[in-house]
Amino acid sequence: MARPYSVTLLTIGVLTLALAGLVRAGQAIRLWAFLNTLTISPGYLVATGLLVGLAGLLAVWGLWRGAPWSPRYTFAYLSALLIFFWFDRLWMTQSQTARVNTPFAIAISLFITIFTAWILFRKPARAFFSR
């Protein structure tokens, strides 16, 4: 069975998030000296970037191949990523600037959750992942 178009779009979205995590880690390493002058640890940025990136690449691989475990893994990955995003936003980034677009961030978080569930648990996707 061919990969549903919606699964392909989701795979591209997850790949984008995974690459952003890897870029975060790479930039933290590159700018280590500068980041040491700020209040956040460059080690934290490297570790979280690598975790987001590598876990995301596993989701991408599973989605692309149609692995039976990938819908649950991807939904768990994106859920964990959103929890981490909100933890980071509310407790690690203490600035008024970061809080200006909170309603938009809430809306996007809800959209990502609903859209991901809708894609992964529809009949065409279930058939693709159960082949």
Residues contacting 53, CB < 8 A, separation 6+: 18, 19, 20, 21, 22, 24, 25
- Report the pLDDT value the prediction gives residue 96, as an integer from 0 to 100: 75
Q: 3-class DSSP state for residue 92?
A: helix
Question: Based on the structure, what is the number of domains in the chain?
Answer: 1
Q: What string of pLDDT tens digits covers the 131 residues of the chain? A: 789 999 999 999 999 999 999 999 999 999 999 999 987 889 999 999 999 999 999 999 999 999 999 999 999 999 999 999 998 888 777 677 777 888 899 999 999 999 999 999 999 999 999 97
Q: What would the two tokens of residue 112 be?
A: 């990502």
Report how far apart, in Å, the C-alpha atoms of 54 and of each of 6, 66, 103 are.
23, 18, 29
- Give the integer Cα–Cα distance in Å for 116 and 5: 13
What is the residue range of 94's domain?
5-129
- Report the pLDDT value the prediction gives residue 54, as an integer from 0 to 100: 98
- Report the pLDDT value the prediction gives residue 10, as an integer from 0 to 100: 96
- Report the pLDDT value the prediction gives residue 88, as an integer from 0 to 100: 83
Contact 52, 17 (CB under 8 A): yes
- Report the pLDDT value the prediction gives residue 89, as an integer from 0 to 100: 83
Contact 89, 40 (CB under 8 A): no
Residues contacting 8, CB < 8 A, separation 6+: none
- Give the integer Cα–Cα distance in Å for 30 and 40: 15
